Amino acid sequence: MHVLAKHTLTKHTLTKHTLTKIVPLTLAIAIMAFGALSASAAPPAAPAAQEGNPERGAYILSLAGGCGCHMGQAGFLAGGEKFEGPFGVVYASNITPDSETGIGNWSDQEIIDAIRLGEHPGDTQLHPVMPYPTFSNMADQDVRDLVAFLRTVEPVENAVPPRELEAPVPPFEPRQPAPAEAPTEGVDRGAYIVNAIAHCGDCHTPRTPQGAPDMSKMLAGAMIEGQVAPNITPHDATGIGTWSEEEIAALLRTGERPDGSEVGGLMKLSVDGGYVNMTESDALAIAAYLETVPAVANTAQTPEEMPEEMPTTGGVLPANWLIVAGLAAALGTLLLVSGVGLRVVVRRVQRRN
Ligand code: HEC
C-alpha cells in the first residue's frame, strides 16, 4: 500500500502541466489511497539526533503539497515538467537518487543548498520557479529529514533538457537564517508551515510587475496559471474572515469548503498531493495563523475580467497620441450621445496638449 501510494499515486499531484494530463480514474484511485494513508499516518516525533529521518521527511514532502512540479510522466520525483514564462524555459529537475540523471551523487549538503538556496552543485543558480525563497526558511532538522526521504525514493533514469533563460538568475540571499528546529505548535507553527514549506503564498499572494511577491497584499488572492487563487486573508467580504478555524483546517485536509463544495484546480492538486496527510493539529495551526495575517480587501480577477489598461498622459509617447485621441474621441461621442458634459473631455484633451 505504502509503495503503491508513493510510486504510483503521488505522480499525479500538483503540477502546472499534469493538470491537464490527469486521467480521472487514476486520480480517483490516488485520492482513495491517500485517504487510506492519511488515516493511518501520523508524523513521527522528531528524533533527538541530527540524523535525517525519512518518515518525517515524507511528512515534510506532504506539507509542501507533494513537490508536484517534479512529478512528470517519467515517474515519482523524476522531473522533466516544462515551465515557461517571460524568463524563458526551465524543466523540473530529476530529484530521484539516480546517479547519472538525478541527485544520487550529490552530498546531503549539496541537496540542502539546492532546496534552501537554489544553488546547483554545477555552480549555477536555479530559477525561483523552484520555491527556494520559501524553503530558505525551512528548519535544519526538517530539510535533513526531507533529504533522508529523498534518498529512499526509487532511482529513475530521466535526463531533463537544459534550461533556456532570457537572463542569468541573480544569486539568492536569504533574509534571515533558517531555524535549527521548527516551532511545534500554535500560530508560530502555522506561520512556519505556510511560509517555509506549504508555500501558500506562491499561489495566493499577487506579484508585482517585477515578479516579486507583493507583500502589501500577502495572501490576498492572485491569478496563477489562469486560475484564481482566492483571497485567504481574514477579510470578511473578500477573504475567508467568516470561516471558523475548524472550517479552514477541514478544507486543507479534505478540499471541501464550508458550503460543501469542493476546491478544484491547483488547490485540489496540492490537497491530494500532500495536504491531505496533514495532521489535524498542523491544519488548525495554519488556520490560527491565517486569522492573524492583515485582512486585505482584494478580489483576484481573471484576465478577461481585468479592464484594458488605459494609456495615461504621464507615460504617453508621441507615437501613441493617435490611440489617445481615438479613445478620447470615442469617449467624447459616448458622453455626447448620453447628453453628459462633453466639456469635461474637451478640457482633458486640452490639458493633455
Ligand atoms: C499551487 C497553488 C496553490 C497553493 C500552493 C495553495 N493554494 Fe489554496 N487555492 C489555490 C487555487 C487555484 C484555489 C481555488 C480553487 C478553486 O477555485 O476551486 C485555492 C483555494 C483555496 C481556499 C478556498 C478559498 C475560497 O474562498 O474558496 C483556501 C482556504 C486555500 N486555498 C488555502 C490555502 C492554504 C492555507 C495554502 C497553503 C497551506 C494553499 N491554499 C496553497 C491555489 C493554491
DSSP, residue by residue, 186-220:
HHHHHHHIIIIIS-HHHHHS-B-TTSSB-GGGTTS
Same domain? 232 vs 276 = yes
Ligand 1 atom nearest the C-alpha of 248 is 29
Give me ligand 1 centre to Cα 30, in Å.
Answer: 20
Please report where in the chains the cell 498542523 appears, as a residue: 282
Q: What are phi and psi of 98, to 5 degrees?
A: -60, 130
Q: Flag whether pLDDT at 36 surpasses 70.
A: no
Final residue before a domain boundary, out of 284, 304, 324: 304
> Is the distance from the beta carbon of residue 232 to the nearest atom of ligand 1 less than 6 Å?
yes
> Is the distance from the beta carbon of residue 138 to the nearest atom of ligand 1 less than 6 Å?
no
Average of per-residue pLDDT across 146-161: 96
Same domain? 327 vs 284 = no
pTM for the full predicted model: 0.75
Indicate the SS3 state at residue 335.
helix
Least confident of 104-108, 125-129, 158-162, 332-336: 332-336
pLDDT tens digits, residue range 37-67? 333 445 555 544 468 999 999 999 999 987 7
Same domain? 194 vs 316 = no
Same domain? 287 vs 194 = yes
What pLDDT shows up at residue 304?
60
Identify any residues that bridge with 91 across adjacent strands, giving them in sequence order: 82
β-strands 82-85, 88-91: how paired? antiparallel
Return the higher-pLDDT residue of 348 and 144. Answer: 144
Give me ligand 1 centre to Cα 58, in Å.
Answer: 22
Same domain? 106 vs 216 = yes
Same domain? 280 vs 312 = no
Query: Mean pLDDT in the chain?
Result: 78
pLDDT tens digits, residue range 108-133? 999 999 999 999 988 789 988 888 99
Same domain? 320 vs 218 = no
Same domain? 201 vs 273 = yes
Same domain? 216 vs 312 = no
- Reading the block at residue 301, the C-alpha cell is 480577477
Boundaries of domain holding 347: 308-352
Same domain? 234 vs 343 = no
Determine whether 254 is exposed, middle or buried from the number of CB atoms within 10 Å of its CB (0-12, 13-18, 19+): middle
> Cα–Cα distance between 248 and 253 in angstroms, integer?
9
Same domain? 294 vs 333 = no
What pLDDT shows up at residue 247?
98
> Is the distance from the beta carbon of residue 265 to the nearest atom of ligand 1 less than 6 Å?
yes
Same domain? 84 vs 44 = yes
Number of domains in the chain: 2
Nearest CA to ligand 1 atom 1: 266
